[in-house]
Amino acid sequence: MLVGALALAGCGTTEDPAETGNDDAGASGPVTFKDARGKEVTLQKPATKVVSLEWGETEMLVSLGVQPIGAADIKGYGTWNTASKLDGSVKDVGTRGEPSVDSIAALQPDLIIMVNDSAQLAPQAEKIAPVLVTKGSDASRNLDRMRDDFNLIATAVGKQAEAKKILDDFDKTLADGRKKIADAGNAGKSFAIADGWKEGSTVNIRMFGQGALVSQLGIQLGLKNAWNGKVDEAWGLGQTDVEGVNVLKDVDLHFFYNASDGDDVFAQGLAGNAIWDSLSFVQKKQLHKMPDGIWTFGGPASCEQYIEQLVKVYAP
């Protein structure tokens, strides 16, 4: 039973992709859509007072020209996601893990957006306002899933035309990047993507497998993800350690990682580690820290930021 917070988890599911409706919805007419739960939701008009409980969905809203009235973990969003900036009017409604029911209710939203991991909590949230549940991630089809989530949100807020333009621009960015990499003679070259954290003296490394969203960007650019270790079905992520990374032997491989919170375990925690220092991509200085604030689980705007960085390396 919920008293003051919604306990939201952080993984995905493998339900059928969401469907959107009312492609010609205007600024004031009713809007009907089917979300990732398979539930049909009808709004009397496109939502304008939206609360978003996940960073990727917050980014999607803002890139469509809709500032939410409330969002989860605004400070963290500003650290990890710079693609679509929140303005100062947006109210913080608590953490992504435990957003505050009272804070959300006080804003009197006309729509609450959450990811599918949290769908079991939607009935409680629906006591406040209609709920839109996105897929959030699906390692079997993550780029198409991202497009589906984006279009679903666009339908709910009456921004289908804007969504089409943004996705058309995204597809062009991807195609242009693929051509640049091919023209540079680097099609088929290897990459690996990770983030990490330290527990005591142990560095834990989270690898992005074939189906992770940003891995799919690299693959669609004509590159090859060298990591084939075990990953989860929703996010395409797998955990290992420095010994596990030792399988990345390709001399052409470039290794990309994120450390937007300032805790750079790759540059600091692994410094002087014999296994790490022996890896070809470390010795050849093919280790790349991504610029702070490029979110690896975002929408088209974050994806374009990531594409830009990959193209800089493979088509300098």
pLDDT in tens, 175-196: 999 999 999 999 999 999 999 9
Measure Cα distances from 306 to 90, 97, 119, 265, 309 in Å. 26, 26, 29, 20, 5
Q: Which of 50, 222, 236 is nearest to 131 (CA)?
A: 50
- Inside any domain, residue 167: no
One domain, residues 267 and 237: yes
One domain, residues 154 and 181: no
Q: Which residue has the tokens 């939607």?
A: 122
The yes-or-no verdict on residue 16 having pLDDT over 70 is: no
- CATH code of the domain covering residue 96: 3.40.50.1980
One domain, residues 183 and 278: yes
User: What's the pLDDT score for residue 22?
Assistant: 36
Of all residues in the chain, the percent with pLDDT exceeding 70 is 91
Which structural domain, as residue segments, surrounds residue 214?
A: 176-314
Q: Are 132 and 153 in contact (CB under 8 A)?
A: yes
> What is the Cα–Cα distance from 30 to 27, expressed in whole angstroms?
9
Of 102, 123, 158, the last residue of a domain is 158
- Inside any domain, residue 9: no
| 221 Cβ neighbours under 8 A, 6+ residues apart | 174, 177, 178, 181, 307, 310, 311, 314
One domain, residues 89 and 190: no
pLDDT, tens only, 49-66: 999 999 999 999 999 999
User: What's the pLDDT score for residue 27?
Assistant: 58
Mean pLDDT of 286-295: 98
Q: Which of 13-17, 100-104, 181-185 has the lowest mean pLDDT?
A: 13-17
Of 94, 128, 158, the last residue of a domain is 158
Q: Which of 1-10, 49-58, 112-121, 136-145 has the lowest mean pLDDT?
A: 1-10
Q: How confident is the model at residue 11 (pLDDT cuts 50, 70, 90)?
A: very low
User: What's the pLDDT score for residue 117?
Assistant: 86
One domain, residues 221 and 132: no
User: What's the pLDDT score for residue 98?
Assistant: 87
Q: How confident is the model at residue 2 (pLDDT cuts 50, 70, 90)?
A: very low
One domain, residues 184 and 289: yes
User: What's the pLDDT score for residue 316?
Assistant: 94
- Inside any domain, residue 20: no
- Inside any domain, residue 22: no
The yes-or-no verdict on residue 26 having pLDDT over 80 is: no
One domain, residues 247 and 306: yes
The yes-or-no verdict on residue 294 having pLDDT over 80 is: yes
* pLDDT, greater one: 5 or 162: 162
User: What's the pLDDT score for residue 120?
Assistant: 77
| 106 Cβ neighbours under 8 A, 6+ residues apart | none
One domain, residues 91 and 219: no
- Inside any domain, residue 267: yes
- Inside any domain, residue 288: yes
The gap from C-alpha 174 to its chain's centroid, in whole angstroms, comes to 17
- Inside any domain, residue 18: no
The yes-or-no verdict on residue 268 having pLDDT over 60 is: yes
The yes-or-no verdict on residue 18 having pLDDT over 80 is: no
Domain count, the chain: 2
CB atoms within 10 A of CB 172: 11
- Inside any domain, residue 165: no
User: What's the pLDDT score for residue 14?
Assistant: 30
One domain, residues 152 and 180: no
One domain, residues 143 and 195: no
pLDDT, tens only, 190-231: 999 999 999 888 899 999 999 999 999 999 999 999 999 999
The yes-or-no verdict on residue 10 having pLDDT over 90 is: no
* pLDDT, greater one: 25 or 95: 95
The yes-or-no verdict on residue 233 having pLDDT over 50 is: yes
One domain, residues 152 and 216: no
Of 158, 193, 228, the last residue of a domain is 158
One domain, residues 138 and 196: no
